[in-house]
């Protein structure tokens, strides 16, 4: 086929394969992708600029709506940044509760990522619904604690908003007892499935060098064999006191990124069990002024979100609102390699590659 026969194909901005309101403009030659443009901005809400007009506490709900599949993780990263800026120390009980909810959020996020990836690979809805079943149980725990399932607004500067109710802990322990067998079931169902292997193995390979040079993080980086996890490398919330492993892949393909998330669910279960055993009594929050005014200065604080390095850069001029705030969104950085991975491949393989990277467009656009 000649260049003159090249045609342009639009995927999105609203399309099941784009994992959000996101447009991909693809130049096709037959079944082969020859060029690809990624067009973002459809979900831009200017939350970084809006934060300059709201108090430090009032900005917490904005973080829910960045990565709306990992609200707890975004709440936590922002609150840790402000606590460092304002020299606020949360109670130990609050720190342990934060770990519990952050790891529950990681499990829920990975269930969504892997469930939709299996669907992208052409499977029937059964694996997707199985994984959503476990995710729903976690969202039930969120709802009984803070009244919300998706945009939780649970973390606070100095701790957490509420104590979990009495019925929270029996249900959590029941879930922790079930999850390891469920994860094994999913891995048995998919890790040897010929169709899933054919659709994901050797598809979207990211070398360790390319992953590092592109500043990838999270499962997208660890799937390429790079054992970088901020919970180990730069511990926060006392993660250095928890025993867990950092799963990595071998080839750096879509299959490896899928398996890394599966193994990370098991590690999160281990962390939550340890946190429950160590959960101290005491207050769940340090009292702070209603209009917190940190001393003039700036801070960059990064945490290990479900999609990778989630960073908050905040500048204070001594007032009740940030002078400037910027979010280092892992989805935006991880997406940067899609063109390199997709050009020369087929469209179905590009869809699987995109699904394995696991983007959330809310934090790309912000």
Evaluate whether 102 touches 94 at the Cβ level (below 8 Å): no
User: For position 180, what pLDDT does the model report?
Assistant: 92
Q: pTM here?
A: 0.93
For all residues of the chain together, what is the average pLDDT? 92
pLDDT in tens, 188-216: 888 888 888 999 999 999 999 999 999 99
Minimum mean pLDDT among 51-60, 80-89, 98-107, 111-120: which range?
111-120
Q: How far is CA 203 from CA 123, 341, 349, in A?
A: 16, 9, 6
- Total tally of structural domains belonging to the chain: 1
Angle formed by the axes of helices 254-278 and 92-120, nearest 10°? 160
> Does pLDDT of 219 surpass 60?
yes
* Residues sharing a CB contact under 8 Å with residue 336, sequence separation 6 or more, in sequence order: 214
HEC string for the chain: CCHHHCEEEEECCCCHHHCCCCEEEEEEECCEEEEEEEECCCCCCCHHHHHHHCCCCCCHHHHHCCCCCCHHHHHHHHHHHHHHHHCCCCCHHHHHHHHHHHHHHHHHHHHHHHHHHHHHCCCCCHHHHHHHHHHHHHHHHHHHHHCCCCCCCCEECCEECCCCCCCHHHHHHHHHHHHHHHHHHHHHHHCCCHHHHHHHCCCCCCCHHHHHHCCCCCHHHHCCCCCCCHHHHCCCCCHHHCCCCCCCCCCCCHHHHHHHHHHHHHHHHHHHHHHHHHCCCCCCECCCCCCCCCCCEEEEEEEEECCEEEEEEEEECCCCCCCEEEEECHHHHHHCCHHHHHCCCEHHHHHHHHHHHCCCHHHHHC
pLDDT in tens, 257-285: 999 999 999 999 999 999 999 999 999 99
> Does pLDDT of 6 surpass 90?
no
**Token pair listed for 255:** 């299959």
- Which residue would you say has higher pLDDT here, 191 or 81? 81
**Token pair listed for 75:** 């709440």
Domain ranges, residue 177: 3-365
Minimum mean pLDDT among 182-191, 246-255, 293-302: which range?
182-191
> Does pLDDT of 1 surpass 80?
no
Give the number of other Cβ atoms within 10 Å of residue 26's Cβ: 18
Cα–Cα dist 297/55, whole Å:
16
* Residues sharing a CB contact under 8 Å with residue 361, sequence separation 6 or more, in sequence order: 18, 19, 20, 21, 22, 40, 42, 43, 331
Cα–Cα dist 105/73, whole Å:
7
As a whole-number percent, the residues of the chain with pLDDT over 70 amount to: 99
As a whole-number percent, the residues of the chain with pLDDT over 90 amount to: 77
Minimum mean pLDDT among 226-235, 263-272, 283-292: which range?
283-292
* Residues sharing a CB contact under 8 Å with residue 126, sequence separation 6 or more, in sequence order: none
> Does pLDDT of 2 surpass 70?
no
Strands 23-29 and 324-328: unpaired
Evaluate whether 189 touches 127 at the Cβ level (below 8 Å): yes
> Does pLDDT of 10 surpass 60?
yes
CATH number of the structural domain spanning residue 213: 1.10.645.10
pLDDT band at 290 (very low <50, low <70, confident <90, very high): confident
pLDDT in tens, 144-188: 999 999 999 999 999 999 999 999 999 999 999 999 999 998 888
């Amino acid at each position: 086929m000649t260049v003159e026969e090249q045609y342009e194909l639009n995927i999105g901005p609203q399309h099941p394969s784009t994992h959000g309101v996101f447009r991909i403009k693809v130049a096709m030659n037959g079944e082969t992708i020859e060029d690809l443009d990624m067009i973002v901005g459809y979900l831009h809400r200017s939350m970084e600029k809006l934060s300059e007009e709201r108090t430090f506490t009032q900005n917490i709900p904005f973080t829910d709506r960045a990565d709306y599949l990992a609200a707890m993780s975004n709440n936590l990263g922002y609150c840790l940044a402000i606590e460092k800026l304002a020299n606020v120390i949360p109670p130990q009980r609050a720190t342990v509760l934060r770990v519990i909810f952050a790891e529950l959020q990681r499990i829920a996020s990975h269930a969504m990522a892997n469930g939709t990836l299996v669907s992208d690979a052409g499977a029937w809805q059964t694996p997707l619904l199985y994984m959503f079943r476990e995710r729903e149980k976690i969202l039930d725990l969120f709802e009984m604690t803070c009244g919300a399932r998706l945009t939780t607004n649970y973390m606070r500067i100095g701790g957490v908003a509420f104590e979990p109710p009495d019925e929270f802990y029996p249900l959590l322990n029941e879930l922790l007892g079930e999850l390891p067998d469920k994860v094994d079931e999913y891995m048995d169902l998919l890790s040897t499935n010929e169709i899933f292997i054919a659709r994901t193995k050797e598809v979207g390979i990211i070398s360790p060098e390319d992953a590092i040079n592109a500043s990838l993080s999270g499962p997208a980086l660890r799937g390429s064999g790079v054992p970088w996890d901020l919970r180990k490398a730069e511990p926060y919330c006392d993660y250095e006191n928890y025993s867990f492993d950092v799963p990595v892949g071998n080839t750096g393909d879509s299959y490896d990124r899928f398996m890394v998330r599966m193994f990370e669910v098991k590690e999160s279960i281990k962390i939550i069990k340890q946190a429950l055993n160590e959960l101290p009594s005491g207050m769940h929050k340090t009292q702070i002024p209603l209009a917190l005014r940190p001393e003039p200065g700036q801070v960059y604080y990064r945490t290990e979100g479900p999609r990778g390095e989630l960073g908050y850069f905040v500048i204070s001029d001594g007032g009740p609102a940030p002078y400037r705030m910027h979010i280092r969104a892992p989805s935006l950085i991880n997406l940067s390699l899609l063109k390199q991975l997709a050009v020369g491949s087929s469209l179905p393989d590009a869809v699987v590659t995109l699904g394995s990277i696991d983007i959330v467009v809310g934090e790309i656009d912000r």
